[in-house]
């Protein structure tokens, strides 16, 4: 245990100096404008939260075919790049640091959301349980189209081009979204990957897609500006794996070879256990991944400080608390009251529940260096 390390300790992330160890988790808010273009309201939202040690911007589709929800931003058109530049400029003007999360939803989509009404793609043609959220409301998921082996390099290239576009948009780095039941996660797990080619079957084959994406993205960015997010215990989006300890232990070890900025772990929830997930302790990943580890999963100031002091993680990501508290680091440092989030305004809409949460402003406040 190291009691000198806490949420407010600085951290050297590659060549980036983080003033604290509080990370803003990527949060889908569905507030992009027409064409899935970020705009000035998004810039205000992120600018307000620039006191985080690191912001990981919301999941952003790498291509029109990668979209899974209405009004989520993209990073595949010139207009989207220009829109994100508004965001990164605003964050940097406040002294902040911001990565972009690169996203392809795979089977978690619907023809209504995709160009020309095409079927969603996936490693295998397995229909997920549940419903897609479309512009016309919820509709049952459809059976996706299994990717041909010859198509996979084209998807990898979309990730590479998205990395190029994120660089042009002024981001400080990128995070590859390999969690929460989306395309990369679908390749990793045998519940969704029943391929018989070099991308299916063994763990070594199933991790190949992620490896190729990391190779492509790190051909654009220095590896110390690239992170990966995984959810080893997650059941969200109808995910299963027959040997999750082996699958994700091996994946963590494979990622060591890339000397990445970090590995970001979404920890298991009560819902994951309720729906049959296997709880994988973060320490299991910590023992196998040698680089910087970010944990995310309902942390408070107390539990965040504890996981850092126990050296079970290097950085702690906060999600819902950042939605309602733009000045979360200051509030945590002062043990100040927290705004309560309004779930009704999490997705879609305008300023309400997005940029109108108040900052902490007591009559007198001690000076705090963050």
DSSP 40-83: HHHHHHHHHTTTSSEEEEEEEESSGGG--STT--BSSSHHHHHH
Question: What's the DSSP call for residue 141?
Answer: P
Can you give the pLDDT of all 370 residues of the chain as single tens digits? 777 899 999 999 999 999 999 999 999 999 999 999 999 999 999 999 999 999 999 999 999 999 999 999 999 999 999 999 999 999 999 999 999 999 999 999 999 999 999 999 999 999 999 999 999 999 999 999 999 999 999 999 999 999 999 999 999 999 999 999 999 999 999 999 999 999 999 999 999 999 999 999 999 999 999 999 999 999 999 999 999 999 999 999 999 999 999 999 999 888 888 888 899 999 999 999 999 999 999 999 999 999 999 999 999 999 999 999 999 999 999 999 999 999 999 999 999 999 999 999 875 455 455 5
Choose the catalytic residue: 45, 69, 159, 182.
Answer: 182
Return d(Cα 319, Cα 12) in angstroms, integer: 22
Strand (E) positions, the chain? 11-13, 16-18, 22-24, 54-61, 98-103, 121-122, 131-134, 137-140, 145-146, 173-177, 226-230, 262-266, 293-296, 315-318
* Architecture of the CATH domain 11-345: Alpha-Beta Barrel (3.20)
Q: Is 182 a catalytic residue?
A: yes
Write 119-122 long-range contacts (CB < 8 A, 24+): 119/143, 119/144, 119/145, 120/65, 120/68, 120/144, 120/145, 121/65, 121/145, 121/146, 121/147, 121/151, 121/155, 121/183, 122/146, 122/147, 122/183, 122/186, 122/192
Domain ranges of the chain: 11-345
Question: What's the DSSP call for residue 156?
Answer: H
């Amino acid at each position: 245990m190291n009691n000198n390390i806490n949420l407010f300790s600085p951290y050297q992330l590659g060549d980036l100096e983080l003033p604290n160890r509080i990370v803003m988790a990527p949060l889908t808010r569905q507030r992009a404008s027409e064409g899935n273009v970020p705009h000035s309201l998004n810039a205000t939202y992120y600018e307000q939260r620039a006191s985080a040690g690191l912001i990981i911007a919301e999941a952003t589709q790498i291509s029109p075919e990668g979209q899974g929800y209405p009004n989520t931003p993209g990073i595949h058109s010139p207009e989207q790049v220009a829109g994100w530049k508004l965001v990164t400029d605003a964050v940097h003007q406040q002294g902040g640091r911001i990565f972009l999360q690169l996203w392809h939803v795979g089977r978690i989509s619907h023809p209504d959301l995709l160009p020309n009404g095409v079927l969603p793609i996936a490693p295998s043609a397995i229909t997920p349980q549940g419903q897609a959220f479309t512009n016309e409301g919820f509709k049952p998921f459809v059976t996706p189209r299994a990717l041909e082996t010859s198509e996979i390099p084209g998807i990898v290239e979309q990730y590479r081009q998205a990395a190029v576009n994120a660089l042009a948009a002024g981001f400080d780095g990128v995070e590859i979204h390999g969690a929460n039941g989306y395309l990369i996660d679908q390749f990793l797990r045998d519940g969704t990957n029943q391929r018989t080619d070099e991308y299916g079957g063994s763990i070594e084959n199933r991790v190949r897609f992620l490896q190729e994406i990391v190779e492509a993205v790190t051909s654009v960015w220095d590896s110390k500006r690239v992170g990966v997010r995984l959810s080893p215990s997650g059941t969200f989006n109808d995910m299963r794996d027959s040997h999750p300890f082996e699958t994700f232990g091996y994946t963590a070890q494979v990622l060591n070879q890339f000397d990445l900025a970090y590995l970001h772990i979404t920890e298991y929830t009560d819902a994951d256990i309720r729906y049959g997930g296997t709880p994988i302790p973060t320490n299991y990943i910590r023992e196998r991944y040698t680089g910087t580890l970010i944990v995310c999963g309902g942390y408070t100031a107390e539990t965040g400080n504890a996981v850092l002091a126990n050296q079970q993680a290097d950085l702690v990501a906060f999600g819902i608390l950042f939605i309602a508290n733009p000045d979360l680091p200051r509030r945590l440092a002062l043990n100040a009251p927290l705004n309560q989030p309004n779930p009704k305004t999490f997705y879609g809409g305008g300023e309400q529940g997005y940029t109108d949460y108040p900052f902490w402003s007591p009559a007198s406040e001690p000076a705090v260096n963050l």
